[in-house]
Amino acid sequence: MTLARSNTYAGLHADQRDVSTDGVEIIPTDPPVTWQIRITRPGGGNLTEDMATKNMEVDDVILVLGYEWN
C-alpha cells in the first residue's frame, strides 16, 4: 500500500484496502499469526533519523482493521 499524506489530519499518512476478495479469513480457534509490516521511505530505502530533531521518520504506526462477521 502506498500511504498518502492527509492535510485534514495534520499530515497523517493513510490508505485503505479492501481484502474481502483476497480470501483473508480469521478463525477464532486457530493459533495467532504474527504479521510483519515493512515500511520504506518514498522512493525506496530504509527510514532515517531526522538530523535536526533526532526523531525517526516514523514514530508510531496504527493499524485499524474492519471486519464483518459471517
pLDDT of residue 31: 93
**Among residues 63, 61, 48, which one has the least CA distance to residue 17?**
63
User: pLDDT digits over 3-45, tens only?
Assistant: 888 888 888 888 888 887 887 777 889 998 888 888 887 778 8
Total of domains in the chain: 1
Q: Grid coordinates in use for 23?
A: 480470501
Look at residue 70 in the predicted model and tell me its pLDDT.
Answer: 67
Stated pTM of the model: 0.53
Whole domain around residue 17: which residue ranges? 1-70
Q: Which residue has the cell 480470501?
A: 23
In the prediction, which pLDDT does 29 show?
Answer: 93
- What does the pLDDT look like over 5-15, one tens digit per residue? 888 888 888 88
